[in-house]
Structure formats: structure tokens, C-alpha cells
């Protein structure tokens, strides 16, 4: 039996029904990192489902060029109208970004709501943003997208609260007043600058304390949040409510998450989860979230998470690397993490390498190997020493035991002999106790 709402209406039947439409430009020479139209359309369907709608059909047109007025040509749009009507679709979702004029012209022919890929992704971000900063970033991206379309989108701009494409921090009706939008965008930028100032202060404090930072990056739904939840279980202060939301869907989490974790040698570090990427991620969205994504540029180590089960994993890897290059973070030492191997036959994936590991965060397979790799990468600037601590400096031994893994110690007549690896700050602090070899 289907669930009913307060008016005893079938909730399932109230869900928006979408026809997904894609254009395959046959005149374009394919690059190695170009996603296939079939894979791109599959991703579009997942985005539609993530936005809360039901996909009732799909259609791909092969065409040599884009039609300036209707994107696919008026004849094809008439076919789309007939197909959408036969499926009882409430909207048509296009796999590319459309101009305001194209949306208006298509809407005039089809007579249904027209959504492009950019609007769809913005809508998902609007639903998922939880923090004040996240909501502001999404609203700024929405305003930047809608501004050049004020005089072209027709009915799209006048709808309010009508489902996908109308939600988010900017859910109220957007007046067709350019000045109003520009003023609002300026105010948002001002608010975001204040947020950035606070983050800069927090970042400076972390830098002062010399706590290493490991950033998780990757395609959306690659398992970054699941991996973060497993990593933070290493910390003695771990609590279940510190875990981040996990769901098998695109863009399940958006807001930057910073959590404490512990290496096998007892050294503390911070792990940062960032927003996931997707092909054709709107530029306005990347720009709006740049302050958030810049956490990656301050990381000591990057974990690039890849879904090992995805047939387009190489293309997804290129997409993430492209964003890292835009952020000028492509020179950071990176460990490539192929996740979800529990869904593969165990004999088909390669052996682990120095900067590459195959694991399952969900099933805790090879997590120990990843933690060892993280420790090795973060300990590149550490110093292995043998200290001789006088007995009247026993508090130093206690302090070092809490902070580091003691490799060996011995009680001698002259003091405690301790072998361990120190970071640069503690090395300079305690180097007077180094035993002469």
C-alpha cells in the first residue's frame, strides 16, 4: 500500500516525473577524458533521482550542431513533446546547460517545465546545504546562473515553490529586477568574506599547533564520507554522533567536515571531507564553493577516492584532477584510494602500490594498509631519534608517550633511553637530549 499525505493523496503519484534528454554532437572529436553520452545520461538520471523526481523515460539525439533557438531543432522538440505527453511526464530535463531563450522556446512548444543540467545540480545543492555558508554559496551560484537569463526564461522565473529548479535559499520568487539580484549577490559575497576570515583564523591556529591535515577528494558517491567515518574511529575521542551522513546517492553531503583521527604511531591528524565532483559541474558552483574547496590547498596530504566499481572511473579521476589543477592543488602528494572493492571479484584488481591502495571502507578491508600509508606520507618530515631523558625530567617521557608511539625504551643509570620519531617542532625542542651515537 502506498503512503498517503494529509489529504489522503497518493504521495508516490505526486512525485515529479522526468523525461531525460541528451544531445550527442557527432561533429565533435572525442577526447580521452570525455564522458560517453550513455554514461553521461546515466549520471543525469541519478541526478534527477537525487533531486527527488522519478525518471520515466530518456531520449538521445545525434546531431552535428546545436540549434541556437531550441538546442535540438523544433522538429525534434515536437517529438519530445509527444513523447513526454505519452509518458505523462511533468518536466523535461536536458543533459546540458541551456540559454534562457532556448528554455523559453522549448517550454513554449512542449508546454511543460524545462530543466537543464545546471539547474538540476543547483537544485540538489540547495536541498543538501546545511550550514549557513553552504546555503549562501548555493544562493550565490543560483543568482549568477539566473542573472543572464532574466529576459529569456519566461515562466521559469515566475514559478515559486514548484519543485525541482525552484528550491533552496533563493526559494522565494526572484523578481525580474537585475539590480535586486546584483545587490543580493554583493551582500552574499560580503557575508562569505566574513566566513572566510573566521576559517582563516581557525586555519592559522591549526597551523600553529602543527596538526597535519589530510583532505578527501573525489567524484560524488565514491565513498568519501564512509571512509571518513572509518578513519575517525581511530581517535580515542570518537563518538558515533561525530560521524557524517552517508547515503548511496549523488551529493549526499556538501558541507566541509573536519574531524580528528589518530595514526598507528599515536600521532593526531585532521581529516577533511570536501564536496564531491561530477562531470559538467557548473562553473558558478565551483566558483561559489572555491573558499570551501580551498581547504584542499592547505592539506599536507590528499586522498583521492575513486569508486572501483564504476566503469567510468578513469574519466571521473580526470574530472577530479582537473578541479584540483584549477585549485592549484595538483602538486600535493596524493594517495589514490580505490574504494568499494567488496563489490568486485577479489582477483581482478591490481596490487597495492606506494601511493595507491584498493580497499572497502564499508567492509573495513585494507583500512590498516591505508592508515600505514597515511602515516608514512605524513612522517616524511619526521626525525627518528634516541633520547636520554634524566630521571628528574620524567614528565617529558610521559608527554612523549602520550603523543608518539615509543619504539623502544630502557632504564639506565643516567636516565631513560627512548627511541621514537619526532616532528620538527619537538625535534628542535628536545634535541639537547639526543644521545651521541
Known binding-site residues for Mg(2+) equal: 225, 253
d(CA 102, CA 137): 26
8-state DSSP, 210: T
Single out the residue of 360, 357, 389 nearest to residue 370, CA to CA. 357
d(CA 370, CA 365): 10
Strand order in the sheet with 383-389: 383-389, 416-422, 408-411
Binding residue ranges: 218-225, 251-255, 273-276, 339-342, 360-362
Binding residue ranges for GTP: 218-225, 251-255, 273-276, 339-342, 360-362
d(CA 386, CA 256): 40
Radius of gyration of the chain (CA): 26
Paired with 270 in beta bridges are 213, 260
Going by C-beta distance under 8 Å and a sequence separation of 6 or more, which residues neighbour residue 149?
99, 100, 103, 156, 157
Give 278: exposed, middle or buried? Use CB within 10 Å, 0-12, 13-18, 19+: buried
Paired with 213 in beta bridges are 270
CA 141 to each of CA 184, 282, 288, 422: distance values in angstroms, whole numbers, following the listed order: 12, 9, 6, 45
Amino acid at each position: 500500500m502506498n503512503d498517503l499525505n494529509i489529504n489522503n493523496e497518493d504521495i508516490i503519484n505526486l512525485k515529479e516525473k522526468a523525461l531525460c534528454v541528451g544531445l550527442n554532437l557527432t561533429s565533435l572529436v572525442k577526447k580521452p577524458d570525455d564522458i560517453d553520452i550513455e554514461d553521461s545520461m546515466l549520471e543525469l538520471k541519478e541526478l534527477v533521482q537525487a533531486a527527488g523526481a522519478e525518471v520515466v523515460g530518456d531520449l538521445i539525439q545525434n546531431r552535428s550542431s546545436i540549434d541556437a533557438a531550441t538546442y535540438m531543432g523544433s522538429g525534434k522538440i515536437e517529438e519530445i513533446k509527444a513523447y513526454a505527453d505519452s509518458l505523462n511526464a511533468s518536466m523535461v530535463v536536458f543533459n546540458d546547460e541551456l540559454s534562457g531563450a532556448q528554455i523559453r522556446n522549448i517550454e513554449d512548444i512542449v508546454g511543460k517545465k524545462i530543466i537543464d543540467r545546471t539547474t538540476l545540480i543547483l537544485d540538489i545543492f540547495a536541498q543538501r546545504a546545511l550550514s549557513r555558508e553552504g546555503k549562501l554559496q548555493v544562493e550565490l551560484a543560483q543568482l549568477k546562473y539566473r542573472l543572464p537569463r532574466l529576459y529569456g526564461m519566461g515562466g521559469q522565473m515566475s514559478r515559486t515553490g514548484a519543485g525541482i529548479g525552484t528550491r533552496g535559499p533563493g526559494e522565494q520568487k526572484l523578481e525580474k529586477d537585475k539590480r535586486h539580484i546584483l545587490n543580493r549577490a554583493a551582500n552574499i559575497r560580503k557575508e562569505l568574506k566574513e566566513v572566510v576570515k573566521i576559517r582563516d583564523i581557525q586555519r592559522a591556529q591549526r597551523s600553529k599547533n602543527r596538526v597535519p591535515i589530510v583532505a578527501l577528494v573525489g567524484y560524488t558517491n565514491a565513498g568519501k564520507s564512509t571512509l571518513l567515518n572509518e578513519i575517525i574511529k581511530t581517535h580515542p575521542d570518537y563518538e558515533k554522533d561525530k560521524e557524517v551522513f552517508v547515503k548511496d546517492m549523488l551529493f549526499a553531503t556538501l558541507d566541509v567536515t573536519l574531524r580528528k583521527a589518530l595514526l598507528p604511531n599515536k600521532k593526531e591528524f585532521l581529516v577533511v571531507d570536501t564536496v564531491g565532483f561530477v562531470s559538467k559541474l557548473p562553473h558558478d558552483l565551483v566558483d561559489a564553493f572555491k573558499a570551501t574547496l580551498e581547504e584542499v590547498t592547505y592539506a599536507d596530504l590528499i586522498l583521492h577516492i575513486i569508486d572501483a566499481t564504476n566503469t567510468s572511473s578513469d574519466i571521473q579521476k580526470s574530472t577530479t584532477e582537473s578541479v584540483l589543477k584549477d585549485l592549484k592543488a595538483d602538486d600535493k602528494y596524493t594517495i589514490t584510494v580505490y574504494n568499494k572493492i567488496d563489490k568486485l571479484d577479489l582477483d581482478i584488481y591490481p596490487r597495492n602500490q606506494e601511493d595507491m591502495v584498493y580497499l572497502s571502507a564499508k567492509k573495513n578491508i585494507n583500512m590498516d594498509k591505508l592508515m600505514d600509508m597515511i602515516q608514512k606520507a605524513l612522517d616524511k618530515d619526521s626525525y627518528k631519534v634516541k633520547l636520554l631523558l634524566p630521571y628528574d625530567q620524567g614528565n617529558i617521557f610521559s608527554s612523549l608517550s602520550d603523543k608518539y608511539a615509543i619504539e623502544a625504551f630502557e632504564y639506565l643509570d643516567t636516565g631513560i633511553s627512548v627511541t621514537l620519531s619526532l616532528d620538527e617542532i619537538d625535534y628542535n625542542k628536545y634535541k639537547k637530549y639526543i644521545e651521541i651515537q
